[in-house]
Amino acid sequence: MNTAALQPQDVPEQVGHSDAGTGVPHGATDSAGPASRRIIVGYGFWLFLLSDIIMFSAFFATYAVLSGATDGGPTAAQLFDTRNVALETACLLASSFACGMASVAVSERNQMWTQLTLLATGVLGAAFLALEIKEFASLVARGAGPTRSAFLTAFFTLVGCHGLHITAGLLWLGTMMAQFLAKGFRENIRHRFLCFSLFWHALDIIWIAIFSLVYLNGARA
Amino acid sequence: MSAVRGMRSYLVGLGLATLMTIASFWAAQTHVIYGPGVPVAIVVLALAQMGIHLVFFLHITTAPDNTNNVLALAFGILIACLVIFGSLWIMANLNHNMMPAAHMASAA
């Protein structure tokens, strides 16, 4: 193949080598080289999130197997308060949406809206966490703590693990707000924020599975 | 311009996700739906809402620059399904075979 063959109409032949830029002129920075750093960072963090979801799937499997093993203790239908779960769900969904608004503000490099939307994300996430802690405390006070039965052990492990992720996410959120304030919208800071927003949205997806399979199905049984 | 498009995507996602959430909470409490069908409805609504979150919040799409993300997601779903349904299958089988011993334990 001579140099005359390297014309625009031959570009599709290079798709197998690197398809990052040819199909989407806005998505990647270049068409022939490796994918942009933003795409690689997002991909790497996406792999971490998927492994995290696989860990959660093991907890879901444990819960599904043990959900009937109440050892004569309280059952899911006697314990769960659907109204509280609806409030938690609303908080987390609104928090996820506020995080999306923060992504838009970051792409516009608007410091005030970035801080405001991140603050809203954090406040709603903290409200979710407060509701969950209140629920756990009331369960323990009613003698339905994690040591009561295998069902409650699996329940506290699964939902508590999600709560721990939210707690870690809130700490991460605080450092992101500080970094945007102190360092501005530098490229590496924006990449960190991309990872945070993926993390936060993925936690909302796991919560969908929790409120559907654990709470709604449990409250009916 | 792109900010408006970005915000519209999140707004559409929020609207659809809210609809799905309300629908599943409604399905859990109503008596309109045939009883054994309710868990199926809840699972289907949950899967739909997860798809909405993936597309509108996480921006996992079928665009060419997203192929790697979609493939990784497919592999993750495969492993998660193996773990969950494999565990349920094996444990149900064990439970079935252990039944006489469980009866003896409860009788004692």
What would the pLDDT profile of A99-109 be if each residue is shown by its tens digit? 999 999 999 99
- Considering chain A, what percentage of its residues have pLDDT values greater than 90? 71
Task: Indicate the pLDDT class of residue A9, thresholds 50, 70 and 90.
Answer: very low
Extract the tokens encoding A165: 């992720």
Name the average pLDDT for chain A: 86
Q: What is the pLDDT of residues B16-72, one digit of tens each?
A: 999 999 999 999 888 888 888 899 999 999 999 999 999 999 988 777 778 889 999
Asked if B14 and A97 come within 8 Å (Cβ–Cβ), the reply is yes
A-chain CB neighbours of B65 within 8 Å are 19-21, 23-24, 27-28, 35, 39
B33 vs A123 pLDDT, higher one: A123
Contacts of A202 (CB under 8 A, 6+ apart): A49, A52, A53, B58
- Considering chain A, what percentage of its residues have pLDDT values greater than 70? 85
Cα dihedral sign for A145, A149, A152, A158?
Answer: positive
Contacts of A38 (CB under 8 A, 6+ apart): A191, A194
B-chain CB neighbours of A117 within 8 Å are none
| Contact criterion met (CB below 8 Å) for A149 and A71 | yes
What is the rounded (10 degree) CA torsion for B70, A163, A165, A59? -60
> With an 8 Å Cβ cutoff, is B38 touching chain A?
yes
Per-residue pLDDT averaged across A10-22, rounded? 41
pLDDT value of residue B107: 52
What are the CA-CA distances from residue A41 to residues A18, A37, A85, A133, A177 (Å)?
17, 6, 34, 34, 20
| pLDDT over 50 at A140, yes or no | yes
Cβ pairs bridging A and B (under 8 Å): 129
Residue extents of the structural domains in chain A: 40-220
pLDDT value of residue A214: 93
A-chain CB neighbours of B106 within 8 Å are none
Cα dihedral sign for A174, A176, A178, A180?
Answer: negative
Architecture of the domain delimited by A40-220 = Up-down Bundle (1.20)
Q: What is the pLDDT of residues A147-172, one digit of tens each?
A: 999 999 999 999 999 999 999 999 99
> With an 8 Å Cβ cutoff, is A60 touching chain B?
yes
Contacts of A153 (CB under 8 A, 6+ apart): A66, A146, A147
Mutation for testing the B interface, residue in A62, A195, A208 having most B CBs under 10 Å: A208
Residue extents of the structural domains in chain B: 1-59, 63-108
